[in-house]
Structure 1
Amino acid sequence: MIQGKYINQDKSIFEDAVSLMQLNKNILLKGPTGSGKTRLAESLSQHMNIPMHQVNCSVDLDAESLLGYKTVYTNDSGHQEIIFIEGPVIKAMKEGQILYIDEINMAKPETLPILNGVLDYRRQLTNPFTGEVIKAEKGFNVIAAINEGYIGTLPMNEALKNRFVVIEVDYISGTVLEEVIQQQSQLNDLTLIQKIVKFNEDLRTMTRQGQISEEAASIRALIDLSDLATVMPIDRAIKRTIIDKLEDDREQQAILNAVELNF
């Protein structure tokens, strides 16, 4: 098994994602932060042996961030000319590779329609900066990730969402989570790993009950926690990786209570 491969007790998630890519369908990975959406995209890239170009969305995302930009280039003879530096969308299309759009609902709705032709049957784009018509090469695939209901996110435009097939990605747990911690962290104390998994189950229960935010139970935080537990006491590791990220005193106290119960 390759280092960092996406693992989930629901094997249909990875299997269906591979099938969708083979059918050249756009995939929308939907799930809470830290649930492994980017890891899944990276694993698909490795499994299909197709390089991946990533776009990280924010309110500042613009056409240049997606497509590229013009700049002045000075050649060896000192002559200057204006050239176009291709962005991730155009690179992925021309090279027949994967385009990964992370947190797609963080982008302003008016920015993304430029991708409509890329995401439908045409797989085509007219570069507004150069006038070049770009037709995606074979192998081009689009994977996007969405965190719904988070601060800074916006409802996803229905016309855009309709261009994707959705795969729900939830947090992992139990023996699968044990395996992930063993593979992706430096911790190899199985007894402590099992305690961390049980601790995470309590965090997940508290997130479902609305006592703490979902970020506190992310797999990403658990990997960091497990790494830190190799060099410091577990309570300090939890403080550094989870508790100190929270601003709500009640959330912090709820996690401290869970620490006392589990460790």
Structure 2
Amino acid sequence: MKNAVLTYHLKPSILKTENQHTEIAIPFYKPIAKEVEVFGHAFKNKIPVLLKGPTGTGKTRFVDFMAHQLHKKLITISCHEETSSTDLIGRYIIQGSETVWMDGPLTKAVKTGAIIYLDEIAEARPDVIVAIHSLTDHRKELYIDKLGETVNAHPDFMLVASFNPGYQKGFKELKPSTRQRFIALAFNYPNEKDEAEILISETQIDASTAKKLVAIATKIRNLTELGLTETVSTRLLVDAAKLIHTGLGKRLAVRVAVVEPLTDDHEITEALADLCDLMI
């Protein structure tokens, strides 16, 4: 299947609720391949979904969009090296003079039928992977060891995770036994035309500058010999375009929003800054 490339706008439409007092932002999403259709079928069949791709390619925005399309509550967990199964499942807390149990976000999602999104799941501790195993196979249940209880997942419960295959490759990766519990959608950076349109829509920057920013990003993304852990994301370009649109000098905006976030290596930073100066 062709890579699913996100085209998004951070200025979503507005939907008013029935009482007209609350406004809900509707994330805008332009399907490129069959990712929306695939996700819908995965939800219908209760199959977990793994979104894989570089930082800033729109994995989180896609989940936001699909949760809205399916009219489901979305619970997002940004995983890191300290994220444990206890954080997700729940714990006992002291409340007044009593010790009471408090469900974690995963348990709440399992019980209520929400979509839970584990962002950068490979960053979490190994016990998190163990905890979700029974939710990613035919059992569709969650065992809460501290209570000695097993909770059957609500019929609408869905587990979604994201993973950046290129980040710390060989150090923090998902095991094949875990990856094969999901279906997977691949995300990548938008093509140059779509990316320029994103910048214009996001920031009202002029088309000429938008094209130059995209050209810079494309050039840096192709400089694989620099050995950068991450490359220029669409998110960084949006930040640069915003700064330029509000009056910051183009070269300075590109340096602080695009170049400096990529590396702390002084020589590489200066080389990239010189390149950007010439292109902008």
Find the counterpart in structure 2 of residue 5 from structure 1.
28
Find the counterpart in structure 2 of residue 228 from structure 1.
243
Runs of 4+ more than 6 Å apart: none
What is the CA distance between 1:212 and its match in structure 2? 5.3
Q: Is the 8 A contact 1:7 1:180 kept in 2?
A: no
Residues 148-172 of structure 1: per-residue CA shift (max 9 Å, x gap): 2423952212221111011111111
- From 172, 192, 202, the counterpart of 1:174: 192
Q: Give the alignment's TM-score, normalised by structure 2.
A: 0.83
What is the CA distance between 1:4 and its match in structure 2? 4.1
- From 77, 80, 91, the counterpart of 1:58: 80
Find the counterpart in structure 2 of residue 113 from structure 1.
130
Matches within 5 A, 1:248-259: 248-259=265-276
Q: Is the 8 A contact 2:131 2:143 kept in 1?
A: no
Structure 2 counterpart of 1:230, one-letter code: H
Q: Is the 8 A contact 1:53 1:92 kept in 2?
A: yes
What is the CA distance between 1:214 and its match in structure 2? 5.6
Q: Distance in 2 between matches of 1:201 and 1:214?
A: 16
Structure 2 counterpart of 1:223, one-letter code: V
Q: Distance in 2 between matches of 1:106 and 1:94?
A: 25
Find the counterpart in structure 2 of residue 127 from structure 1.
144
Q: Is the 8 A contact 2:54 2:166 kept in 1?
A: no
Q: Secondary structure at the match of 2:230?
A: helix
Structure 2 counterpart of 1:35, one-letter code: T
- From 67, 70, 73, the counterpart of 2:92: 70
Structure 2 counterpart of 1:91, one-letter code: K
Q: Secondary structure at the match of 1:182?
A: helix
Q: Is the 8 A contact 2:168 2:229 kept in 1?
A: no
> Percent identity at matched positions?
23
Stretch of structure 1 that moved more, 18-27 or 64-73 = 18-27
Find the counterpart in structure 1 of residue 65 from structure 2.
43
Q: Secondary structure at the match of 1:70?
A: strand
What is the CA distance between 1:35 and its match in structure 2? 1.4
Q: Secondary structure at the match of 1:122?
A: coil
Q: Distance in 2 between matches of 1:243 and 1:42?
A: 29
Residues 36-63 of structure 1: per-residue CA shift (max 9 Å, x gap): 1111111111221211111222221112
What is the CA distance between 1:108 and its match in structure 2? 2.7
Q: Work out whether 1:164 is the aligned partner of 2:164.
A: no
Runs (5+) with no aligned partner, structure 2: 1-11, 14-25
Structure 2 counterpart of 1:25, one-letter code: I
Matches within 5 A, 1:194-205: 194-205=211-222
Residues 121-157 of structure 1: per-residue CA shift (max 9 Å, x gap): 2110121122232111121111100112423952212
- From 184, 192, 212, the counterpart of 2:209: 192
Matches within 5 A, 1:81-120: 81-120=98-137
Stretch of structure 1 that moved more, 253-262 or 50-59 = 253-262
Q: Give the alignment's TM-score, normalised by structure 1.
A: 0.88
Structure 2 counterpart of 1:64, one-letter code: T
Q: Distance in 2 between matches of 1:219 and 1:164?
A: 26
Task: Compute the RMSD of aligned alpha carbons.
Answer: 2.1
Q: Secondary structure at the match of 2:177?
A: helix
Find the counterpart in structure 2 of residue 14 from structure 1.
36
Q: Secondary structure at the match of 1:11?
A: coil
Q: Secondary structure at the match of 1:240?
A: helix
Q: Distance in 1 between matches of 2:232 and 2:40?
A: 27
